[in-house]
Chain A
């Protein structure tokens, strides 16, 4: 009997172990892409182009241990160095000795150096912030870069700073304005009576799934007519409108669940709807407001299509996702710049997300589990 219990406990422990291994593998697979980006963004151009980013991890590679001058006056036939015979061409490629060393002839036939290399555990930890420096520097800056052969070249900056500021300018009002408007509307739907209430709310629910492409063309025409196309105002209006259905729906779910007695008590005390809303409902709804705020902020920050259509591509208003797509077009092979630019674009939403993920998750759940 006892032994059976023991074996069951052992089985349980084993299955927990297997479970954790599976989860570990999954998590590693999910983190590796982002990790690769981060690591690549702090390696210099030569390192990125000649070895994968994973060579920063401990791995075995040929490492130079010592060197000496190559023998001179050799003919076309085999040359013997350190007891190994091979032709000059073979030495140029690298010849492996029986004891596991590699001899490599650097330089030309007359004036050469023999490098003796051994397989050793190494890590490529030559990190640099130069990529970030260049990505952030203005276009007319001359950012110096030292190449592998020691020569120095000067490169123009990529100047993505303004695009970063533009994105802040877009994202902050495009987060706060829809929340404000949606909170007022959600309160009205939950606690006020007015003709057309049900129909309007059904409209909000219906709009939850309408693709924004459906509204884009006429909206664009209206904005052109109002002469606001290509301004921040246009993109705020667009984000506010596209964010409103979800915001109203989420906040309605929350605000309509507030205790009726609390709100009625306020109204008996003579508080108007406006005062009740401002003094009571808004503070009580803070968790819901915060979760939608994070959701909307990350959404707007990461948006590409809305910005592309309503802001256009003018450098003065270009947002960071647009700038990054431009860089992919013009700097397609310069991975050191693309990775640094991409990481800068991810910095803010990722920090907001990591710092406030509890609220973010709660906001998602309010929208999907109840709905």
Chain B
């Protein structure tokens, strides 16, 4: 009896609930607007402001979902079935379309205009971007990052994963290699600037690298300022230190997924450990290797923080990311900045296409 009643009420429209839902929706929206104004002009003490902001942001989003759903569920079944998915997916779609997809096209359009986005200049920004000496240097450095940064992160990650897999101390090893991932690039910048610190000959060397060089009888070096273009590699070292952990953990999980029978079959056939590794293990974890490599490739393509924090792009260490930032903020040149962003985007398109084709092939949808 009650069950039928619930079912019936679930099928038909419910004007009372609709009114209630609409009313609540208006209240939530008004409250959020009010909170927005209070926060924007915020004269509250720091901690109170922070707390209010957290409650407003998180509570507001939850309340919006709740009331929107209340409205939709009070409609009749056909309308409800049609509208409810949009309540669920709508906010995400709205944010992604409004702040991510449309801006991408707008950036492409802006890149065809002058520095103030007023005069159409065609491909001029791209021509300047690709003929500019600084930009050429930045692109070369970015390639160094992408080739050497990616190769070493992936290589070291795989090496450590394979070695740790055979050791009793696996967890300890993993945590120590993985820990730098929790550190910001800015924090890492301070850590490594201190390691690369240069004091003139004769003065106490308080930077670890120069102390090692001097105790070995060498001359102290200004690692980050001089020694171009090798200084780029000292910056890349920081990336390797931070990202090897990610590669290692991912490979480690993939290695554990290689079926023991396959390896055993190889051993029975008398294959050496090395042949088993290259003949069985590597092909088996191929998919993971591709994913990890593309992840790090994109990471190195976008690299910004570590260069900005350690050299600010000086001493011939500029990368595309720092050039973008400089065009945007130091030069206020929106045309050139957008052109650089589009170059970055185009560089990622092959990986994007690969991902989409993988998705279509796996039929995950």
Contact = CB atoms under 8 A, between A and B. Distances in A.
A301 to B, nearest CB: 7
Contact of A23 (B69, B87, B164, B338): B164
A298 B182 contact: yes
Given A173-B53, A233-B36, A342 B190 contact: yes
Contacts of A227: 40
The A interface is mostly helix, strand or loop, or mixed, namely: helix
A115 to B, nearest CB: 19
A319 to B, nearest CB: 10
Interface in B35-67: 36, 39-40, 46-47, 49-50, 53-54, 57-58, 61-62, 65
Contacts of B168: 20
A288 B128 CA distance: 46
B178 A357 contact: yes
A335 B337 CA distance: 35
B25 interface: no
Contacts of A209: 294, 298, 348, 351-352, 355
B246 interface: yes
Contact of A184 (B92, B257, B288, B291): B92
A222 B99 CA distance: 9
Interface in B310-326: 321, 324-325
B240 to A, nearest CB: 10
B122 to A, nearest CB: 19
B281 interface: no
Interface string A32-61: 111011001000000011111110000000
Interface residues of A, number: 116
Given A200-B93, A240-B95, A305-B304, A349 B101 contact: no
Given A233-B39, A301-B184, A184 B89 contact: yes
Interface stretch (A135-143, A150-158, A213-221): A213-221
B104 A214 contact: yes
A165 B194 contact: no
A209 B300 CA distance: 12
Interface residues of B, number: 120
A198 interface: yes
A353 B99 CA distance: 30
Interface string A172-201: 110011001110110111001110011011
B1 interface: no
Contacts of B91: 181, 184-185
Nearest to A348: B182
B356 A207 contact: no
Contacts of A16: 166-167
B57 A210 contact: no
Interface in A203-245: 203-219, 222, 227-228, 231-233, 236-238, 240-242, 244-245
A241 B96 contact: yes
A44 B194 CA distance: 15
Given A40-B194, A51-B204, A188-B89, A20 B241 contact: no
B334 interface: yes
B204 A248 contact: no
B337 A193 contact: no
A207 B298 CA distance: 12
Interface stretch (A71-79, A89-97, A320-328): A320-328
Given A233-B40, A325-B309, A342-B187, A217 B57 contact: no
Nearest to A247: B92
A361 B207 CA distance: 33
Interface stretch (A62-70, A104-112, A118-126, A266-274): A266-274
Contact of B107 (A172, A218, A324, A364): A218
B89 A189 contact: yes
B236 interface: no
Given A52-B206, A353-B182, 15 more contacts: A169-B53, A188-B85, A189-B365, A194-B85, A210-B100, A217-B334, A227-B40, A241-B100, A274-B73, A302-B182, A325-B308, A342-B187, A350-B183, A361-B253, A369-B254
30 contacts: A20-B168, A23-B173, A30-B180, A37-B191, A51-B206, A165-B47, A169-B53, A173-B53, A180-B62, A198-B365, A200-B89, A203-B96, A206-B352, A208-B352, A209-B294, A209-B355, A216-B103, A217-B107, A233-B57, A274-B69, A304-B308, A305-B304, A321-B187, A324-B190, A349-B184, A350-B179, A361-B178, A361-B249, A364-B250, A371-B291
Q: 10 tightest A-B contacts by CB? A: A302-B184, A194-B85, A185-B92, A173-B57, A188-B88, A353-B182, A218-B103, A215-B103, A218-B106, A169-B50
